[in-house]
Amino acid sequence: MLWTHFEGEINVMTRWITRFLGAMLLVLSGAIVSADDVTTAQVRIGHFAPDVAAVDVYIDDAPTTLNGVPFGTVSDWFALPADTYTVAIVPTGAARADAVLETTVDLSAQSWHSLLAVGLLENDTLTLDIIEEDYTPLADGETRISFYHAIPETLPLNVVADDDEVLAFLAFIDTLTDGEGQPVPRYDTVDIPQGPRLVQIISATDADAVLVDTAAFNYAAMRHYFFAVIGASSNPTFVLTSTHMNQLDTEIGDDPRRAVTTDGDGSGFLRVAHLSSGTPDVDVFLNGEATDLTGIAFTDLTAFAELPSGAYEVALAPAGTGLAEAVISTDLTLNDGAHLTIVAHGFLENETLALAIVTEDFSELQRGLFRFSVFHALPGGDPVAIIRDDGLSVISFLSYPGLVDGGEFAFAELVVGQYAFSVVDAADSTVTLLEIPNIQYGANRNYFIGIIPGDVGYIFDYVELPSESAE
């Protein structure tokens, strides 16, 4: 499920990292759970570790719907009974035993905790930082903004809004102490009047060193914004998400453990995206047998085929030939209830043709949301970000397959509406690479966008989710 990344309606950047602004009430143990339920805690998870690819989240050894979460993503809030839990972060597709991070978390009733994966795997600083957030009432006309320093090996930072310093000296977790030996805060919160703000993140030791310079953004009343500075000191970026303080019940999603289900009939779903320019039309063979997936041309995205769950060898051969002429093959496991997309990318002529296996999230959407998924299949292209036409970052980082493990695919969950999107350079959002025109995005749909070579530059399709998802 994603998540990303930006404003309460987006699951960022990534995809992490988002189920915001829905109207579904959480049901646990047969009771309706609200934000002020005395037995539950509210939790969300952020992936801010720059050298860790997409991850799956386990809670008390149970798999969850928080899977394939890319860097730069913040999940929606979800409720858990107040208790002690073990939270494990596992590379996407790996076994629970291969967790790169595992932490015990004590959750008290009526609390709001963000669990943030930060640090670097390569130097053993990876940790799950537990932040208790302030969700006490706001005064009329006020907005709340929480800032978090998540860039490893970076000096302290100051926060400036419209040239006024609003927070000073935020440091990366456990890197600095003050004169009394106490850790310098990595997180702080301010309540300020609503309105447009131009926020800058600057070095606390050099006022001319601006790490992040945002466009003017209207910070609305009665919202709690979470602003995380992430990435590397050489390439900083940020994640922004928000929660409506007067609609907290509608912002809380299901316990992700309870949402992990299978269809029970021992089947999964498979489709193919042909995003390899210059590669001829192809037929698909599964375990050496011909299939109905034939004549798939460049820019085609097939419908999902329902197949028995199990292990498969997938081969692509030029259309009208046979298995012996296959130009590429790969192995995959189709789990019960899973939705997999096989993406052919690269070029046949220079032997860079490859297959990527994408696990898509077809879990239920909250009412009024759609899911927006993007795959980077532009060979030689730099990492990109996806920006909505109101300036909000939907997905903060996508890379061509093989550059960053799992970095080629991300998705977000957005409120329905009419939008245009821009594909921009991830390192410089002023450089626009591609425009996705303004259309109306409908509720209860999974949209798939593939960034490809050619004049158009993308493919676009969607699948309607089962009608019960909207109930």
> pTM (2 decimals)?
0.58
Separation CA 366–CA 432 (nearest Å)? 32
Provide CATH code, domain 267-359. 2.60.40.1120
CATH 2.60.40.1120 residue ranges of the chain are 267-359
By CB atoms closer than 10 A (0-12, 13-18, 19+), residue 184 is middle
- List the 328-334 sheet strands across, edge first: 289-290, 282-286, 310-318, 328-334
Separation CA 375–CA 423 (nearest Å)? 12
- Closest by CA to 193, choosing from 227, 229, 221, 215, is 221
Separation CA 117–CA 72 (nearest Å)? 10
Give how far the C-alpha of residue 447 lies from the chain's centroid of Cα atoms, to the nearest Å.
Answer: 15
Instruction: Give the number of other Cβ atoms within 10 Å of residue 27's Cβ.
Output: 13
Per-residue pLDDT of the chain (471 residues; tens, 9 = 90+): 333 333 333 333 333 333 322 323 233 333 333 455 568 999 999 999 998 888 889 999 888 888 878 888 888 899 999 999 999 999 887 888 899 999 999 999 999 999 999 999 999 999 999 999 999 999 999 999 999 999 998 889 999 999 899 999 999 999 998 888 888 999 999 999 998 888 999 999 998 999 888 877 888 889 999 999 998 888 888 888 888 888 777 677 778 874 444 444 588 999 999 999 999 999 999 999 999 999 999 999 999 999 998 889 999 999 999 999 999 999 988 888 889 999 999 999 999 999 999 989 888 888 889 999 999 999 988 889 999 998 888 888 888 988 776 779 989 889 999 999 999 998 888 999 999 999 999 999 999 999 999 888 999 999 998 764 333
Burial string for 311-339 (b: 16+ CB within 10 Å, else e) reads ebebbbbeeeeeeeebbbeeebebeebbb
